């Protein structure tokens, strides 16, 4: 009996049919205020429901930021559970942005929270931090393979502080970031049409030709829109790996406020710009 279809295959199909775009759901206090919503559970629920109803039936990936829900306690997590379920029911893949990272049974529990099919927060993929050592992610890797889900590992992030860890050079001469990419390439070896273990690589980092981004897996690329990168920048940053890039846009879509049509139009515009840029390579 065959297991669930791997995340990488599902992601490749979603990107090819819906366009290579990930829209973030980031209900922080300032954005709730811009939408004319209170910074409370009711505002959180209205915000999340509006985004899901506007774009979940047309974008490849939705990425809720768990922290903005967790700050409201159990009621906020309940909103997150509902948003995840409704987004998946509408056909979007849900990438939970929780950046979990720990060791042993604790890492296993984090993985079960988001990647076990019986969990109320069951998502298609999860962001994780490998900076307790890549091997600390083993429980999450194992569960992802079993459940047909995926991981996005922090590798070359766009925040300026990340460089002090990710660009540090190991005794073997490789940077820490390059080492993470190498681990992911090994995880994805032989997988078709795309591996399920991706890297987070900022779209604002400029020329990355010194790194081997061909990990046979997806590259989640934050930085499009409000952080200054554009769709047209992607080929120069990611080179031949650009076809596997999943650009993340949050503010660029969400700033259009509580109008579902405006949100939908913005998401479709970004998706088309990205599709055009990738097709030109």
Query: Angle 104-115/138-147 helices, nearest 10 degrees?
Result: 30
- DSSP codes joined into one string, 166-193: HTPBPTTS-BHHHHHHHHHHHHHTT-SS
* Catalytic position from the list 99, 116, 255, 275: 99
SS3 content of the chain, % helix, strand, coil (to 5): 50, 15, 35
Per the annotation, the verdict on 82 as an active-site residue is no
CA angle (96, 64, 16) in 5-degree steps: 75
Identify the CA nearest to 129 among candidates 147, 116, 111, 117.
Answer: 111
d(CA 250, CA 25): 7
d(CA 125, CA 111): 10
d(CA 11, CA 158): 23
Which residue shows structure tokens 């929780």? 98
d(CA 214, CA 280): 19
Active site (catalytic) residues: 99
């Amino acid at each position: 009996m065959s297991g669930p279809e791997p995340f990488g295959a599902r992601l490749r199909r979603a990107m090819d049919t819906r366009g290579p775009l990930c829209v973030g759901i980031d209900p922080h206090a300032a954005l709730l205020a811009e939408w004319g919503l209170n910074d409370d559970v009711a505002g959180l629920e209205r915000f999340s429901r509006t985004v899901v109803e506007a774009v979940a039936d047309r974008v490849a990936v939705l990425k809720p930021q768990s922290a903005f829900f967790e700050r409201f306690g159990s009621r906020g997590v309940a909103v997150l559970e509902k948003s995840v379920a409704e987004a998946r029911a509408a056909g979007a893949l849900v990438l939970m942005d929780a950046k979990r990272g720990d060791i042993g049974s604790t890492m296993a529990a984090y993985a079960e929270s988001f990647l076990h099919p019986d969990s109320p927060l069951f998502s298609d993929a999860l962001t994780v931090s490998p900076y307790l050592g890549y091997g600390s992610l083993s429980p999450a890797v194992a569960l992802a393979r079993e459940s047909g889900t995926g991981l996005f590992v922090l590798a070359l992030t766009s925040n300026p502080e990340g460089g002090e860890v990710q660009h540090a050079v190991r005794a073997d001469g490789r940077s820490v970031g390059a080492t993470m990419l190498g681990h992911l390439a090994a995880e994805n070896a032989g997988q078709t049409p795309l591996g399920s273990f991706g890297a987070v690589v900022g779209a604002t980092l400029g020329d990355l030709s010194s790194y081997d981004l061909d990990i046979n897996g997806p590259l989640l690329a934050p930085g499009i829109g409000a952080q200054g990168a554009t769709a047209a920048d992607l080929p120069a940053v990611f080179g031949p790996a650009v076809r596997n890039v999943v650009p993340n846009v949050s503010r660029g879509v969400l700033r259009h406020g509580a109008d579902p049509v405006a949100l939908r139009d913005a998401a479709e515009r970004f998706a088309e710009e990205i599709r055009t840029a990738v097709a030109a390579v």
